[in-house]
């Protein structure tokens, strides 16, 4: 069958564009994470998409589109950009920006906390609990729906919590809880 008669669906791929939301539908995010997603969205809309549209327009004006690599790649890239724009727009619309600086000075674990904990093996780890779309395990940032974050949420310094892992239940002791300091109001 000719490719002209096949339909590429975007709806299937929208679900794969990022991590799934929890059943509650909440999309907590830090102010910094929200700013990063918004900056990416604006960059795609204002800079990257217009450049690709220009290339596709130029390539289309060259004639035969069936073997025109610039045209075919450009159309594919446009679909990818549009898919990402839709994903970011949806995520930003339902985002609940939660400022972790509000808990500065507290020793209980809430969203946005940086937590140092000790495992049963004696290994100490430090993680920061952030939104689903801003989690980065290489930088010690875990999603608030991850198993370790769920185990630690609402615990306080000195508490021992149970963490369910594939290897079984493990006890974890909360050593330290930190929050970013509030920004000083600038004098205008």
Per residue in 56-65, pLDDT tens? 898 888 877 7
Greater model confidence, 130 or 188: 130
What's domain 25-97's architecture? Orthogonal Bundle (1.10)
What was the pLDDT predicted at 62? 80
pTM of structure = 0.78
Residue intervals of the chain classified under CATH 1.10.287.180 are: 25-97
H/E/C letters for each residue in the chain? CCHHHCCCCHHHHHHHHCCCCCCCCCEEECHHHHHHHHHHHHHHHHHHHHHHHHHHHHHHCCCCCCCCHHHHHHHHHHHHHHHHHHHHHHHHHHEEECCHHHHCCCCECCCCCEEEEEECCCCEEEEEEECHHHCEHHHCEEECCCHHHHHHCCCECCCEEEEEECCEEEEEEEEEEECCCCCCCCCC
Residue intervals of the chain classified under CATH 3.10.50.30 are: 100-178
Q: Does domain 100-178 have CATH number 3.10.50.30?
A: yes
């Amino acid at each position: 069958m000719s490719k002209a008669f096949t339909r590429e669906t975007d709806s299937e791929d929208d679900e794969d564009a990022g991590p799934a939301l929890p059943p509650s539908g909440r999309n907590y995010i830090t102010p910094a994470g929200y700013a990063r997603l918004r900056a990416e969205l604006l960059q795609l809309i204002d800079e990257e998409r217009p450049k690709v549209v220009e290339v596709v327009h130029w390539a289309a004006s060259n004639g035969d589109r069936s073997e025109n690599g610039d045209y075919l790649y450009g159309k594919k890239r446009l679909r990818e950009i549009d898919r990402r724009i839709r994903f970011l727009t949806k995520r930003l619309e339902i985002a609940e920006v939660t400022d972790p600086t509000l808990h500065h000075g507290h020793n209980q674990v809430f969203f946005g906390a940086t937590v140092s904990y000790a495992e049963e093996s004696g290994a100490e780890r430090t993680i920061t609990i952030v939104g689903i779309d801003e989690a980065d395990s290489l930088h010690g940032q875990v999603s608030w729906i991850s198993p370790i974050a769920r185990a630690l949420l609402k615990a306080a310094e000195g508490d021992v919590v149970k963490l369910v892992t594939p290897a079984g239940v493990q006890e974890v002791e909360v050593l330290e809880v930190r929050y970013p300091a509030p920004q000083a109001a600038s004098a205008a």
